[in-house]
Structure 1
């Protein structure tokens, strides 16, 4: 946002962009968010005052959404370019609100997940740890390779898994990794890492559904083999 002289009369800590960086977008008022989109005001009023004027004219965001380009340009400080940007921003917000979280299939069983992982990882020369992030219905909302390398204490850490899980509001996670040797029997490092993930998930209310290790043609499910209960 260009800071005109009128806005600079305000303390820097109250500038909308600085507040968003410091406090996050959810802590900003409608006036502050609109001011960020507007970027600057006019010679007569700073951008915060311009945002306030617009919101007084349209007391609900629903009313503002239905303004025309011509109506927006009645405000001093809003020309055709800025009016177009505002209308585009409002439409984009509506489309985001209508969008649904993507689903990448549903985990029906350890067997189906094991077969999927065999197909994906059997030819990898290094260990790859894949995490499936799930909703409450076991639908996959994200699949992500978290680590490449052996699951020892110095490389693998549950924080990478749960940082992503919290960000997308996952209810459950399932892990899968390969053994390039072709033998899917878990190592002690595999078991230790699984337990760390399970305990971290338990504290955060995110269930570890399974950890599947795959070889060339077989898989080993820690859930099926009772390592996970």
Structure 2
């Protein structure tokens, strides 16, 4: 919670609940919902799972969050993914100088806004070992409605490998079972990208 607006939000919620900013309840609330976007999408049912927050406090928090929506939302927390190009523009700067494959997931809410960006795995020059359980453990933790996978090819060639295609199918199948849709898998190599969805692999 290093963002200025999140610190202000923490202060407001602390005062509303008459809790110290460093209390267990406040700590757990911001531990489970670390970004402003996650907090804005939280439900009463999610809040009452935190020890010390009953239905009354949950309703107080929801009311306060509705008021807080009038505050300015930091630009990086209102990034909406509409196409593979959006994924490329968001992640290419992260991948530009990497010499190993980085497998990253963008976790999205129901409006396709990025809730969280997380590196799931770092591999070698030409491979990144990823297991679906690592991807969906992170997705569930972030209360994601859907996700987009992406990784870089340090060689500069964005063409998917056979392993990339197999992994994508495993992730899609797991997502269907769990109920968190995998919207795309974007491979970034050099200044180019390859969308597996746009190229008929979904």
Give me the TM-score of the superposition, normalised by structure 1.
0.55
Instruction: State the match for 2:177 in structure 1.
Output: 203
Deviation at 1:120, TM superposition (A): 2.0
In 1, Cα distance between the equivalents of 2:63 and 2:142? Answer: 16
Instruction: State the match for 1:180 in structure 2.
Output: 154
In 2, Cα distance between the equivalents of 1:216 and 1:190? Answer: 17
Aligned length: 146
Q: Does 2:88 correspond to 1:122?
A: no
Q: 1:97 to 1:217 in 2, by over 3 A?
A: same
Give me the TM-score of the superposition, normalised by structure 2.
0.62
Asked if the contact 2:101–2:127 (Cα under 8 Å) also holds between the matched residues in 1, the reply is no
Counterpart of 2:118 (choices 132, 144, 161) is: 144
Deviation at 1:183, TM superposition (A): 0.4
Asked if the contact 1:107–1:113 (Cα under 8 Å) also holds between the matched residues in 2, the reply is yes
Higher alpha-carbon Rg: 1
Q: Does 2:143 correspond to 1:169?
A: yes
Deviation at 1:125, TM superposition (A): 0.5
Gaps of 5+ in 1: 1-24, 35-59, 66-92
DSSP-derived class of the 2:148 partner: strand
Asked if the contact 1:183–1:215 (Cα under 8 Å) also holds between the matched residues in 2, the reply is yes
Q: 1:123 to 1:171 in 2, by over 3 A?
A: same
Asked if the contact 1:118–1:219 (Cα under 8 Å) also holds between the matched residues in 2, the reply is no
**RMSD of aligned residue pairs (Cα, Å):** 3.2
In 2, Cα distance between the equivalents of 1:61 and 1:138? Answer: 29
Deviation at 1:134, TM superposition (A): 0.5
Deviation at 1:95, TM superposition (A): 5.8
